[in-house]
């Protein structure tokens, strides 16, 4: 009891006491750093216990001096606890004025994956050992950043296209069933096939960097069956009959005609290998501008800075144009070139242009 009385006498700084106590409770629940926890959370408790416990008080007074006893409390760094606690508290709630999207700013353990652009990104924990070329054995897969294609994404694609239907059987297990796509039924054979091929190829192109992209074999086989069923509904016959009619040398083959003669198209069969490099190409050109970047456009030919006739590097190319290809006699080199290329224009350097003009006058 005496301890409590002394304690009450001592506590002139009531507000600091209260604030420190609040900071202490806050730190008790939030501080993760071990050293700080011992210093600011556990040590003060021990000191306070020693102070309030009658036996330890008697020991202090007997061994040392009554004066020392009061000073035990001073060893509790109340000011520090309060300051540190307050800083921690406000740092935790500080706002920077930036709004971060919770979806895009995913902070997670690397063993768990983060979804970004429909890829799952994770760090491999594989302990598998690989024998290197120099004969050494090494764990080369551990800690490597990997990309994975989420299964629900291609499953969702199948559902979105209407190529499958998922039902649950008696035991609650999912059953995936390929379905015919009614909307494609009225198209021509080659249109249906091209549509399916484009969809399969499109998804593969997108996920070709993923380690498990070969899973798309499953996607592809469901798509193929859906296509067979679409053909079946179109011709009102069984899938077996469709296979008999269209499968040649083990490939689903559709004949079609072009200006150049009859051709054949087959269902996608080039596999789903993982690619190490992303596809290059016109990824930075928006679809609406693609029509302007044709290799044979006047602008591109003029920009190439190479004379189409003599091949010389030249800054100021000129477009030479004729009215009709029929009028060309094939007497000069430029006429032969135009007829060969089937073009009424040639981007030429000024000297070649002068030559052409001369030849036309004669």
| Total residues in contact with Zn ion, by rule CB under 5 A | 6
179 binds Zn ion (CB under 5 A): no
Tokens describing residue 284: 């930075």
Q: Considering the complex, state which of residue 52 and residue 312 has its C-beta at the smaller distance from Zn ion.
A: 312
Order of strands across the sheet that contains 261-266? 247-248, 251-258, 261-266
Q: Provide the minimum distance between the beta carbon of 341 and Zn ion in the complex, in angstroms, as a whole number.
A: 15
Check: CB of residue 238 under 8 Å from CB of residue 191.
no
Q: Considering the complex, state which of residue 213 and residue 348 has its C-beta at the smaller distance from Zn ion.
A: 348
Calculate the alpha carbon distances from 245 to 66, 228, 254 in Å: 107, 11, 10
Q: Provide the minimum distance between the beta carbon of 305 and Zn ion in the complex, in angstroms, as a whole number.
A: 11
349 binds Zn ion (CB under 5 A): yes
Check: CB of residue 47 under 8 Å from CB of residue 74.
no
Q: Which residue has the tokens 């750093």?
A: 33
Phi first, then psi: what are they for 101, rounded to 5°? -75, 125
Q: Provide the minimum distance between the beta carbon of 339 and Zn ion in the complex, in angstroms, as a whole number.
A: 18
Q: Provide the minimum distance between the beta carbon of 343 and Zn ion in the complex, in angstroms, as a whole number.
A: 16
d(CA 57, CA 3): 8
Tokens describing residue 63: 């061994």
Q: Provide the minimum distance between the beta carbon of 321 and Zn ion in the complex, in angstroms, as a whole number.
A: 16
Q: Considering the complex, state which of residue 234 and residue 320 has its C-beta at the smaller distance from Zn ion.
A: 320
Q: Considering the complex, state which of residue 222 and residue 309 has its C-beta at the smaller distance from Zn ion.
A: 309
Contact partners, residue 21, CB within 8 Å, separation at least 6: none
Phi first, then psi: what are they for 129, rounded to 5°? -100, 140
Scanning 21-29, 144-152, 325-333, 345-353 for contacts with Zn ion by CB under 5 A, the matching segment is: 345-353
Could you say which of 163, 347, 352, 356 contacts Zn ion (CB under 5 A)? 352
Q: Which of 85, 86, 75, 82 is nearest to 18 (CA)?
A: 82
Q: Contacts with Zn ion in 310-329 (CB under 5 A)?
A: 310, 312
48 binds Zn ion (CB under 5 A): no
307 binds Zn ion (CB under 5 A): yes
Q: Provide the minimum distance between the beta carbon of 304 and Zn ion in the complex, in angstroms, as a whole number.
A: 13
Which residues are at the interface with Zn ion (CB under 5 A)? 307, 309-310, 312, 349, 352
């Amino acid at each position: 009891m005496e301890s409590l009385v002394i304690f009450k006498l001592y506590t002139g700084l009531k507000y600091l006491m209260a604030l420190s106590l609040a900071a202490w409770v806050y730190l008790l629940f939030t501080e993760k750093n071990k050293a700080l926890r011992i210093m600011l959370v556990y040590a003060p408790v021990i000191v306070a216990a020693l102070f309030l416990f009658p036996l330890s008080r008697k020991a202090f007074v007997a061994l040392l001096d009554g004066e020392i006893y009061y000073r035990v409390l001073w060893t509790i760094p109340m000011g520090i606890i309060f300051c540190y606690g307050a800083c921690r508290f406000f740092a935790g709630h500080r706002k920077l004025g930036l709004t971060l999207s919770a979806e895009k700013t995913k902070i997670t353990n690397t063993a768990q994956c983060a979804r970004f652009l429909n890829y799952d990104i994770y760090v491999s924990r594989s302990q598998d050992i690989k024998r290197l070329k120099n004969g050494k054995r090494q764990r080369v897969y551990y800690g490597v950043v990997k990309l994975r294609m989420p299964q629900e994404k291609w499953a969702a694609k199948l559902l979105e296209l209407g190529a499958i239907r998922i039902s649950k059987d008696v035991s609650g297990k999912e059953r995936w069933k390929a379905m015919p796509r009614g909307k494609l039924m009225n198209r021509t054979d080659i249109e249906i096939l091209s549509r399916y091929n484009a969809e399969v190829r499109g998804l593969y192109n997108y996920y070709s960097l993923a380690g498990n992209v070969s899973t798309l074999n499953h996607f592809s086989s469901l798509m193929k069956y859906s296509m067979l069923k679409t053909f079946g509904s179109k011709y009102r016959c069984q899938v077996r009959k469709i296979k008999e009619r269209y499968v040649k040398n083990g490939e689903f083959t559709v004949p079609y005609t072009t200006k150049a003669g009859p051709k054949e198209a087959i269902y996608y069969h080039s596999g789903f290998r993982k690619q190490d490099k992303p596809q290059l190409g016109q990824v930075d050109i928006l679809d609406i501008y693609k029509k302007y970047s044709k290799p044979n456009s006047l602008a591109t030919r003029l920009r190439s800075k190479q004379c189409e006739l003599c091949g010389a590097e030249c800054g100021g190319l000129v477009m030479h144009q004729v009215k009709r290809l029929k009028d060309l006699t094939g007497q000069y080199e430029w006429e032969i070139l135009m007829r060969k290329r089937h073009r009424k224009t040639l981007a030429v350097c000024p000297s070649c242009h002068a030559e052409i003009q001369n030849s036309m006058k004669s």
